[in-house]
Amino acid sequence: MTEKIPGGVTMEKLVSLSQRRGFIFQSSEIYGGLSSCWDYGPLGVELKRNVKQAWWRAVVQGRDDMVGLDASILMHPQTWAASGHLEQFTDPLVECKSCHQRFRPDQVLVGPVYAQDKGFLGYASGVNKEEYDKSWQELLNKNPKRGGTASRMFRAELQEPKTLHDFLDKKSEIPCPFCNAIGQFTDPRLFNLMFKTFMGPTEEEANVVYLRPETAQGIFVNFQNVLNTTRRRLPFGIAQLGKAFRNEISTGNFIFRSREFEQMEIEYFVRPETADKWFDYWVEERRNWYLNLGIREDNLRLRPHGEEELAHYARKCYDIDYNFPMGWSELEGVANRGDYDLAQHARHSGKEMTYFDEDSGEHIIPYIIEPSAGVDRSVLAFLCDAYDEEIAQGELRVVLHLHPSLAPYKVAVLPLSKKENLAKAAREVYADLRQCWMVHYDDTQSIGRRYRRQDEVGTPYCVTVDFQSLEDSQVTIRERDSMNQIRVPIATLKETLTAKLAGEDLFVLPEGGKIWKEEGK
Ligand code: GAP
C-alpha cells in the first residue's frame, strides 16, 4: 500500500535530486559556477536526448510534410538586422556610475535584484521577501507573462509611465544593490541581449558576429535551399533543434531561464488564407505532444497574447504554459509570424524569398506558423510533473513517474547477490537488453534500496536475477509505478519488456511465442 504525500514537488527538491543523482549540475562548479549555465550529467543527458528524440519523431520522422535542418549557430550579421533583433531584442538597464554594475530599473525599485554579471544579489533595499512575493504575485495575476521570457514585456512595463517615473523620481535616493552607493544610477538605456563575438583574428566592429538568440532565423535564410532541393509544396514545415544564447538579465528558476539553452522550433509555411486554420492545428498538436508524454492536463493551459504583448514579428501568439513550482510560465509559444521574416530577408538580402504556386501561376510569400519550444524548459516540466513522494511500506519513496520513452534508463538489472554464478547470469541478461535500450546494472546494497534508487531516477522496470533464476531460467520484473512483480522466462524477457515499454500490460511466454495478458492468464 502506498500513500501519496500532498504538495510534493518544489524547485529546491528538484535541484537537489538533479545534483544528487546526476541529472543537472551548475556549469563550472569547481570555479564557483557560471551564472545561469547548466551541465547535463549522465542521467540528464539521456533525459534531454529522449525529449529531443520524442520531438523529432513526432514532428519530422512521423510526418510527410516536414523536413529537418541543422544550421550553424553563427550567422551573417545582416540576419539580425533583417530579423529585427539588433533593434528590438533589448532590455532596459541602468548602470551604477560608482561600481559600473548594470541592473534592470524595475528591480532596483522592487527587487529581486540581478546584476548583469553577478546574478542574484538579493532584494531591493527596504523590500523584504514577503512584500516582494506579494507584489510579484499581484503582477503575475495582472499579467502572467511577467513570469515568462519576453524581454519586450519588461520594456513595455518599464515604458508604462508609472514605473519609469517611479524610477526617475527615486533615482537620487536608491542605493546600488552591489556597492551601496546612493543616487549613482544613470537613466535607463536599452541593452541588446545578443551575445557578441568576433569572427577572425581582429576584434573590430566590422568583424562582430552574434551567437544566435533563436534557431528560427537559420530556417528562414534556408527557405529557398530547402524548397529547391526537396521540391516541397505548401503547406510544409522545416524543423530544427539547437542551441540558442541570450544574455538574459534576470535569469533563474533553475534551468527555466538560462543564458545558453536549446530550442525545438518548427517553421510551417502555409498559404496566407489558411494561416488561421494551421495556427489552431499546431496549438492543438503541440499541446497533445506534452499530454501524450504524460504531462497532466491540469498542469497545462493555453494563453493568448494580447495586442500589446505581441512580438514585433507576430500577428497572433498563444503560449502553452506549464504550472511550474514558481507559478504558470511559458513552456512553448505558437506564433503566426505572417510574411514578416521572408519579406524582411528578401529586402535585406535582395534575394527572392517567394514560392511559385503552380495552380494560380503566382509567386507568393507564404505565411509562417511557428511552434517554438525550449528543450530545457520541457525537461524541467517533465521532471516537475513526474516527481512524486509517497509512503510505501512505512518509508518515504521518491519516484519520477516519467513516461517510459523519456526515462533515462528503461531497465535496471539487479542481481540479488554478487556471487559469481549469479553475477554471470545477470551480466548476460544485461548485455542482451543493452542492445535495445539504455540499461543500468546495479549490484550494490540491499534490493529494496536499489529499487528506491531506480524509482528516484524514473526507471520503469527493474529485472531481478535470483538463485531460482539459475534453476528455472526465469527472472522477476518489478514495475516502478505499481511496484508489482511478475516472474517471466528469460527467453522472452526482451519481448515482454518491449510490450510493457510500449504501454501494453502483457508478457510473452516461450510456448509458441504466445502473448498472454497477466490477468485471466
Ligand atoms: N523563435 C521564437 C522564439 O524564440 P521565445 O518565446 O523567445 O520565441 C521560445 O522562445 C521558447 O524558447 C520559449 O517558449 C522557451 O521554452 C525557450 N526559451 C526562451 N528563452 C529561454 C531562456 N533564456 N532559457 C531557457 N529557455 C528559453
Q: Which domains are delineated in the chain? A: 2-71+211-384 (3.30.930.10), 90-191 (no CATH), 409-520 (3.40.50.800)
Q: What is the pLDDT at residue 160?
A: 46
H or E stretch at 21: helix 11-21
pLDDT at 6: 67
The per-residue pLDDT for 174 is 81
Residue identifier of the C-alpha nearest atom 19 of ligand 1: 149
In this structure, the residue with its CA closest to atom 4 of ligand 1 is 214
Q: Ligand 1: does its nearest atom lie under 6 Å from the Cβ of 319? A: no
Q: Which residue's entry shows cell 547477490? A: 417
Q: Does residue 374's CB lie within 6 angstroms of at least one atom of ligand 1? A: yes
- Ligand 1 within 6 A of CB of 83: no
Dihedral-angle region of residue 98 (phi above 0 means left; psi in -120 to 50 means alpha; beta otherwise): alpha
pLDDT of residue 481: 95
Q: Which atom number of ligand 1 is nearest to the Cα of residue 216?
A: 1
What is the pLDDT at residue 1?
63
Determine the angle formed by the axes of helices 493-501 and 420-434, rounding to 10 degrees.
50
Q: Count of alpha carbons within 13 Å of 254, Cβ hemisphere only? A: 25
What pLDDT score does 510 carry? 61
Tell me the angle at which helices 447-457 and 11-21 cross, rounded to the nearest 10 degrees: 120
The b/e string for 219-254 (b: 16+ C-beta within 10 A; e otherwise) is bbbbbbebbeeeebebbbbbbbbbebbbbbbbbbbb
Task: Give, in order, the Cα–Cα distances in Å from 518 to each of 31, 472, 495, 496.
Answer: 54, 19, 14, 11
Residue nearest to atom 10 of ligand 1 (CA): 372
pLDDT digits (tens, 9 = 90+) for 174-214: 888 788 888 898 887 778 889 999 999 888 888 999 999 99
Q: How far apart are CA 50 and CA 400, in angstroms?
A: 15
Give the closest residue to 372 by CA, choosing from 297, 454, 317: 317
| Residue 100 zone, left/alpha/beta (φ > 0; ψ -120 to 50; rest) | left
**pTM metric for this prediction:** 0.86
Is 216 near ligand 1, meaning CB less than 6 Å away?
yes
Q: Whose CA is nearest to atom 18 of ligand 1?
A: 374
Longest dimension (CA), the chain: 85
Q: Whose CA is nearest to atom 16 of ligand 1?
A: 374
Pairing of the two strands 506-508 and 474-479: unpaired
- Whether the CB of 376 sits within 6 Å of ligand 1: yes
Residues of the chain with pLDDT under 50: 125-128, 132, 136, 139-140, 142-161, 512, 519-521
DSSP string, 276-303: HHHHHHHHHHHHHHHHHTT--GGGEEEE
Phi, psi of 370 (to 5 degrees): -120, 100
Q: Which amino acid would we find at residue 276? A: D
State the cell numbers at 176.
Answer: 546600488
Amino acid 154: pLDDT: 42
> What's the first-to-final CA gap in the chain, in angstroms?
24
> Residue 82 and residue 309: Cα distance in Å, rounded?
21
CA distance 5 to 214: 40
CA of 481 to the centre of ligand 1 (A): 33
For residue 505, give the amino acid letter.
D
